[in-house]
Copies of this chain bind each other. A is one copy, B any other.
Amino acid sequence: MRADTPGRAPERRGLTELYEDVRAATERLCAPLSPEDAVAQSMPDASPAKWHLAHTTWFFETFVLEPAFSGYLVFDPAYRVLFNSYYNTVGAQHPRPRRGLLTRPGLEEVLAYRRHVDAHLRELLVKPGAVDEPLAQVIELGLHHEQQHQELILTDVKHLLAQNPLRPACFEAAGVSRGEALPLRWHAFPGGRATIGAAGQGFAFDNERPRHDTLIEPFELASRAVTNGEFLEFVLDGGYDRPELWLSDGWTAVQRQGWRAPLYWEERDGAWELQTLAGPREVRPEEPVCHVSYYEADAFSSWAQARLPSEQEWETAAAEAPVRGNFVERGRFHPVPADEGDPRRPVQLFGDVWEWTCSSYGPYPGYRPPAGALGEYNGKFMCNQLVLRGGSCATPRSHVRASYRNFFYPDARWQFSGLRLARDPS
């Protein structure tokens, strides 16, 4: 049996290795954080890093050890509530906006919690017959879940540190920009009947299925994401002062929240700086613009006399050779081509960004959420959010794929979100 057998969870030995890899990566990611950095919460949408460390562990305790490890004793019964994110089926949850007040358990205790759960998981994984196929799938889901939280740790810590007037750095910057953006090219796609969604092989979240056919009109897609330099032109052209470019709700957001540029941008004496996880530095025109909301992405598109692609268009393009080559060329699904030894890139240099599509996040035809608590994983969020595609410099490489559907509210800016233009054939 091979790991890539359609519909199957990775083979047992592979699963153990994957478990070790993913769990260790999370802790490496948090190593530069002080206990204070790890406990604070900068806004209700963000969570403390310590909470992420505990919640991803709670996932394995709740969905793997409790049902499948005979005689398992929970580390602390109170964690059932404290570190439950949103699973009503499991029970009550500590209120999300108050996660930052949980100074206890401390970081050390949460790391002990991780070791406790890891030890039992390892025991379970090597126990003959203990992990059947459905359980292996839950474990695999837990690992992909943890990878999602790895990215959230970076977005949330970045947001937290950006609230601090000291503008602290938390990670070292890796790599250097190429110095010049690739010229923008338009790739034409003929449209027609296309098949969308996760194919049978390998892991995919439930929201990537069922794979199904759709009709797409002919369209053109830009060869690269919109750059800082291009977005700055929009800013300087009064983009944030011209309601005719904006969706109605977007214009309301601009005014209520006082947006004048992407999140983390700041003008100082005529020059533009941005805050990164490695501290402040200048806005480099050749890099993809990042930390823009859907509203800003949409307004920029209007200004550029283009539009955002639909997720179907995006996925179609991702599956076709000419663009795939181009993607590889610019490192799309390999965000750190020059630095293969580093399994992740905590800062966005010339890295990639999640790309807003114009598609509302909803169920694919025939979608049904799984039974039980894990049915809450994706389905109940299928309203009011927009799909982003691709993956960012903060996304683990093994976590990206063409059918992946990320989703956020249209005013969210703290994710590594940018945009790529599309247009109808002239």
Which residues 262-321 of A sit at the B interface, judged by CB distance below 8 A? 294-295, 298
Q: How far is the CB of A162 from chain B (nearest CB, A)?
A: 10
Q: What is the copy number of this chain in the assembly?
A: 4
Cβ–Cβ contact A383 & B215, under 8 A: no
Fill in one digit per residue for A70-110: 1 if any B CB lies within 8 Å of its CB, else 0.
00000000100110001011000010001011111111000
> Do B243 and A88 touch across chains, with their CB atoms under 8 A apart?
yes
Max chain B C-beta neighbours (<10 A), residue from A35, A101, A193, A366: A101
- Size class of A's contact patch? 35 or more
- A45 CB within 8 Å of chain B: no
Cβ–Cβ contact B212 & A213, under 8 A: no
Closest to A213 in B: B215
Q: Given the complex of chains A and B, what is the CA–CA distance between A249 and B410 in angstroms? A: 14
Nearest CB in chain B: distance from A182 CB, A = 28
Please tell me if A174 contacts chain B, counting CB pairs below 8 Å: no
Whether a CB of chain B sits under 8 angstroms from the CB of A257 is no
- Chain B residues with Cβ below 8 Å from A40 are 39-40, 100-101, 103
Q: Which B residues are CB-close (under 8 A) to A165? A: 78, 81-82, 94
Task: Decide: B36 and A217 in contact? CB cutoff 8 A.
Answer: no
Cα distance, A51 to B167, chains bound together (Å): 18
In the assembly, what is the distance between CA of A82 and CA of B167, in Å? Answer: 12
Q: How far is the CA of A35 from the CA of B36 in the complex (A)?
A: 6
Give me the 8 closest cross-chain CB pairs, A-B, nearest first.
A360-B360, A88-B243, A36-B103, A36-B39, A35-B35, A248-B380, A101-B163, A217-B365
Chain A residues with a Cβ under 8 A of chain B? 34-40, 42, 50, 78, 81-82, 86, 88-89, 94, 98, 100-107, 160-161, 163-166, 168, 193, 212-215, 217, 243-244, 246-251, 294-295, 298, 358, 360, 362-363, 365-366, 375-376, 380-384, 410, 424
15 extra A-B contacts, CB within 8 A, seeds A217-B366, A244-B376, A249-B384: A36-B36, A36-B107, A42-B101, A78-B166, A102-B164, A103-B161, A103-B164, A213-B215, A214-B215, A215-B215, A217-B365, A247-B380, A247-B383, A294-B383, A360-B360
